[in-house]
Structure 1
C-alpha cells in the first residue's frame, strides 16, 4: 500500500508552495508549457487553417499580424503581470486594479466557460475519428466531407430560412428537424471531461507534469505530417493559396479584420482569463514580459508552420475557396488533415497517431479554461477541497456540452462560437485595454485636475470611438474617422483648458505649461502608473521591464482597433437574423457585456468571489506618482479587515480629503 501511495505521489504530486503560501509551478518551463498548451491546440491545427482558407491570400497577414503585435502581446503582458503581481486569478487580480473591475475579470472566465463545453465536443468528434482509425481501409477515404458531416457530426440538414428580397424583414426562420442525441458524441464527450478532471484535480503539481507530454508529442507528429503533405501532387498550389496570392480588396471588408482578431484571441488564449490564473502560480518576481512574448511568438510560429499540413492537401484535392461561401471554424481542418493521412504508407497507424495527438493537444486547452474557473472558486476562500470543486465544475461543464451532442449540435456550435468570438471575446479584451489605462488609480487624476475634466476627457475618448464607428457604418470610413477624432480632440482641449492646476510632478515634456500638464494626467497617468507599479514586481532584478509605450499602445491603438472590429458584429448579425441558433449565440455573447456593466455599477454583488481579507485592495489610497506594490496593498487591507475599520478603505479623491 505504501508503494502505491509513493507511485500516486509521483504521478500526481502535491504542488510546491511560494513564500506567501500559494501553490507554485514546479518550474518556469512547466508554466510556459502549460500556457503554450492552453493556446496551442485545435485552434492552431484545425481552426486556423479554416479561417485562413476563408480569407485566402497574403492579405490575411495584415490584420492577423496587427492583431498579434498591437493587441495580443500587450494584452497578454497585462494578463500575466497582474496575475503574477497580485497573486490571484482573473477576478481577484482585476479587483486589485480597481474594485469596479471585478465584473471585467469575471467576464473573461465567462468566455472560457462558454467555449469549453463546445470545444470538448470538437474533441469528441476527434475521438470518433480515432476509433475509426483502426478500420482498414480508413472509412473516410474518398469521402472526407460525407464522413465528417454524416458519420461523425451526424446532424440532420436544417431547413434554411431567408430574408425578404429587400433584406428588411425575416421571411422564414431556419428550422432544425433533428433534435435527438448522437450517442457516440455523448460518450466521447464524457470521456474527454473525465480526462480534463484527471489533469487538474490535484493542482499545478500534476498539471505541470502533464504538459510535458501534451506539448511534446504534437510537435513531433505535426512535423511528420507537414513533410508528407508537402510531398503530395499539386501541394504547391495549395501553399500558394496561402502565401503567394494577394486579394487587397478583402481588406475593405470588416469580416477579415473581425476573423483575424477572433482567431488571434482564440489561438493565443488572450481574453479567456486562464493566463492570469496560471501566472498567479508563478514565483512573484518571474519574468512576465519575456514569458508573454515567448508564448505568443511560439503560438504564431506553430500555427503558421502547421498550416502547411492542411494547405498541401488543399492543393492535392483541389479544394479551392468559393466566393460568398464561408466554411465553419473547424471544417477545413477536419476535411484536409484526415485526407492527408490516407495518402501515407501505414495510413491506419498515422491516423491513430494524428487523432490521439489532436486529442492530447486539445484537452490541454480545455483544462486550461476550466482551471481558470477553479482558481476563481479556490481563491474566493471556499471551504470545499479542490477535488470537490473540480468535480462539480466538470459535471456542470459536461451537462453544458450535451446540447452540442444533438442532431443540431454542429449548427449550435457554429452560432455560439461565432458570436462568442466576435462579440464577447473582442469586447472583454477591449475592456481590459480601456479599464487598465483609465480606471486604475483614477482618484489620483481627479485629485490633480478635478472630476469635471476627468469626465469630459473620457467622454471624448470613449464617445469618440462610439460616434466614429457609428458614422463610419452609416456614411463612410473617412467621415467616421473625422467625427471620432474630432470629438476626442474637442473634449481633450476643453478638459485640458478648464481643469485644476496639478501640483504633483509631471514629465518634463508636459511640464512646460499647465494645459499640457493637465493633458498628461488625463491621457497617460493611469496606464503609466500601472506600468510602474507592476514593474516594481515583475520587472525585478534582471527581468525585462514593461516598456514605456505599453500603456499608450493599449489605450490609443489596441482599444480603438478593437472598437472598430467589434462594430462589425452588428451588421453581420443583421444579415443572419433568420438563424435562431445565431440569435441564441448573439445573446450569449452579450451576457459578457452585462457582467462587465454590473461589476462597474454594483461591485459589491461580486464581493463573494473575493477573499474577505483582499476585498479592499481595489480601493487604492490617494498618492499621485507614488509607487504602490501588491505587498503594501495586501498588508494594508489585512490590517483594515482585522481592525474592522471599513471606513479606512474608502479612497479620498483629493489632497484635501487625504
Structure 2
C-alpha cells in the first residue's frame, strides 16, 4: 500500500496543476480532475491490480495469460517504461547537480546560489546576467515577467555552463561529465534499491516516502505562513468559471493530467498486484490509493500556490507571469526562494523531496521491468541469473539508453522525446490495455460479480 501511494506521489501535479487550474476555470478544472480520478483512474487501478493479482505475473506474462493475442501490450508497456525512465534520468540528474552545488556553496562558505545570484559566481556566469528571481521587461509582449527562463538569467546560464548545449540535435558534441556522473548516480541508487528483492525494497520505499512527505509538509507550512496566501486564493476562486465544464478541451486536459499523475498504463500496478495474495481487497486498496493521491496533490498544489502568492505580493506581477508547467516550473519554484530568507534551506528541502519522490517512481517502474525478465527466464534460468544480476542488467541498460541526454545535444533530444512519450504513446497503450481486458471479460463471459472475490 505504501509503495502504491508513493508511486502516485509524483511531481507531475506539483509542476503542472497550479497553472492548469488558473488557466482553465479554477474550481471547474478541479472538479473535472476529480471526476477523471473517479471515472478513469480508479477503475483502471482496480483493473490493473486485478490482472496482476489474478495472474501473479508482470505485464507481459499477465496479458499473455489473459489471451496470447494481447502479449504485445505488456511488451509495449515495458519498452515504454524503459524509454520514460531513460528520459526522466536527465531531470533527476539535474536535481542531483543542483544539490551538489548547494553543498559546494555551503562547504566553500560562499553567499548565494549559482542558479540565483549572478555576482557571486563569475566562474559559472557571464555578463549580461540577471538574477533568476528578478523581473524582466518584455516590450514585445507589453508586460513584465520573471526572468527565470530567459537566456540572460542566472539559472539558464548556470545550466548552460554545465551542459554547453550544441546548436541542434544532430550536433552530438561531447559527453558532459557532470551530468553523466549525476545520471550514473541515479542508477546506482536505483540498483541498490531493487537488487536485494521485494522485501528490501519494502523498507527502502517507506523511508523515501516519509522523507519526501516530511520535507513537503515543511514547505507547505512555510508557504501557508507567508504573505499573499489569502489574496492568491481569492484570485483562484475568482477564476472559477463553471461554464468551462461544457468545453471538451478542459476535460481533455483534466484526463491527460490524471493519467500522467497517477501513472496508470505503465504496468506498475500490475506488477505490484502480482505480489498480493489472491484474497487481497484490491478495490479497497484502489480507493485508498486514489484518496492518498488526492490528498498529496492538494498538499503539493497549496504549497505552490502559497509560494506564488508570496512572490506576487512582492513583485506585483500577475500570477500567470510567475508560473510555468513541467520542468520549467521546477526552476521557477527554485527562483521563488530568492525572495525568502534561508534560501539554501528551502532550496535543499525542495530538491531532496523531489529526488526522493522520483526515486520511488524509478524503483517501482524498474521493478516492473525486472519482474518481466524474471517471468521470461522462469525458475530454472533464474538460478543462473539471480535477481542481483538481472537488476544490474536493467539499471545498466536504462543508463545506456539515457547516455545521449548527457551529451551537448541532450537538451534538444530531451525536448523532442518528452513531447512524444508523454502525450502520444501512453494513451495508445492505455487504450489497448483497456480493450484487451474488456475483450477478456466479454469473450469468456466473466460477469462483474466475479470482482466480489477481491472485495
Scaled by the length of structure 1, the TM-score of the pair is: 0.57
Q: Any unmatched runs of 5+ in structure 2?
A: 106-110, 117-130, 134-147
Give distance in 1, aligned partners of 2:60 and 2:451.
Answer: 17
What secondary structure does 1:395 align onto?
A: helix
Partner deviation per Cα, 1:412-445 (whole Å, 9 max, x = no partner): 3333223322221112222222221234451x5x
Match of 1:152 in 2: 159
Q: Is the 8 A contact 2:232 2:305 kept in 1?
A: yes
Match of 1:216 in 2: 210
Residue 35 to residue 175, structure 1, CA distance change in 2 (3 Å):
closer
Partner deviation per Cα, 1:124-150 (whole Å, 9 max, x = no partner): 111122123232323333415234433
Match of 2:327 in 1: 330
Residue 191 to residue 286, structure 1, CA distance change in 2 (3 Å):
same
How far residue 320 of structure 1 moved from its aligned partner, in angstroms, is 3.9
Give distance in 2, aligned partners of 1:379 and 1:313.
Answer: 47
How far residue 242 of structure 1 moved from its aligned partner, in angstroms, is 4.2
2:253 to 255, 259, 273: 259
What secondary structure does 2:353 align onto?
A: helix
Match of 1:85 in 2: 54
User: 103-112 vs 341-350, which deviates more?
Assistant: 341-350
> Is 1:139–2:114 an aligned residue pair?
yes
Q: Is the 8 A contact 2:51 2:270 kept in 1?
A: yes
1:351 to 347, 350, 371: 347
User: 109-118 vs 387-396, which deviates more?
Assistant: 109-118
2:366 to 362, 367, 370: 370
What secondary structure does 2:175 align onto?
A: coil
Residue 41 to residue 274, structure 1, CA distance change in 2 (3 Å):
same
Q: Is the 8 A contact 1:262 1:421 kept in 2?
A: no
Partner deviation per Cα, 1:323-358 (whole Å, 9 max, x = no partner): 9x994522113312x234444443323332332222
Q: Is the 8 A contact 1:49 1:332 kept in 2?
A: no
CA RMSD of aligned residues (A): 2.9
Give distance in 2, aligned partners of 1:407 and 1:311.
Answer: 35
Residue 81 to residue 403, structure 1, CA distance change in 2 (3 Å):
same
How far residue 292 of structure 1 moved from its aligned partner, in angstroms, is 0.9
Match of 1:15 in 2: none
What secondary structure does 1:420 align onto?
A: helix
> Is 1:294–2:288 an aligned residue pair?
yes
> Is 1:281–2:275 an aligned residue pair?
yes
Match of 1:437 in 2: 438
What secondary structure does 2:239 align onto?
A: coil
Q: Is the 8 A contact 1:50 1:333 kept in 2?
A: no
2:74 to 101, 105, 127: 105
How far residue 378 of structure 1 moved from its aligned partner, in angstroms, is 0.4
Q: Is the 8 A contact 2:309 2:319 kept in 1?
A: no
Q: Is the 8 A contact 2:85 2:362 kept in 1?
A: yes
What secondary structure does 2:279 align onto?
A: coil
Partner deviation per Cα, 1:565-599 (whole Å, 9 max, x = no partner): xxxxxxxxxxxxxxxxxxxxxxxxxxxxxxxxxxx
Partner deviation per Cα, 1:594-623 (whole Å, 9 max, x = no partner): xxxxxxxxxxxxxxxxxxxxxxxxxxxxxx
Partner deviation per Cα, 1:277-332 (whole Å, 9 max, x = no partner): 01111122111011111112111221122112212222333464669x99452211
1:67 to 36, 56, 74: 36
> Is 1:42–2:16 an aligned residue pair?
no
Q: Is the 8 A contact 1:271 1:428 kept in 2?
A: yes
Q: Is the 8 A contact 2:184 2:399 kept in 1?
A: yes
Match of 1:461 in 2: none
Residue 393 to residue 81, structure 1, CA distance change in 2 (3 Å):
same
How far residue 66 of structure 1 moved from its aligned partner, in angstroms, is 2.5
Scaled by the length of structure 2, the TM-score of the pair is: 0.80
Give distance in 1, aligned partners of 2:291 and 2:252.
Answer: 21
Q: Summarize the alignment of residues 6-21 of structure 1 with structure 2, pairs less than 5 Å apart.
A: none
Residue 374 to residue 240, structure 1, CA distance change in 2 (3 Å):
farther
Give distance in 2, aligned partners of 1:243 and 1:175.
Answer: 43
Match of 1:307 in 2: 301
Q: Summarize the alignment of residues 158-197 of structure 1 with structure 2, pairs less than 5 Å apart.
A: 179-197=173-191
Q: Any unmatched runs of 5+ in structure 1?
A: 1-31, 160-173, 445-525, 539-543, 545-658
Q: Is the 8 A contact 2:165 2:410 kept in 1?
A: no
Give distance in 2, aligned partners of 1:274 and 1:416.
Answer: 21
Give distance in 1, aligned partners of 2:41 and 2:420.
Answer: 19
> Is 1:414–2:421 an aligned residue pair?
no
Match of 1:9 in 2: none
Q: Is the 8 A contact 1:44 1:302 kept in 2?
A: no
Give distance in 2, aligned partners of 1:131 and 1:113.
Answer: 26
Partner deviation per Cα, 1:134-179 (whole Å, 9 max, x = no partner): 32323333415234433236667888xxxxxxxxxxxxxx877684
Q: Is the 8 A contact 1:138 1:342 kept in 2?
A: no
Give distance in 2, aligned partners of 1:77 and 1:348.
Answer: 42
Q: Summarize the alignment of residues 256-655 of structure 1 with structure 2, pairs less than 5 Å apart.
A: 256-318=250-312, 320=318, 327-336=324-333, 338-380=334-376, 381=378, 382-383=381-382, 384-440=385-441, 442=443, 444=444, 526=445, 529=446, 531-536=448-453, 538=454, 544=455
What secondary structure does 1:133 align onto?
A: helix
Larger RCO of the pair (alpha carbons < 8 Å, separation 6+): 2
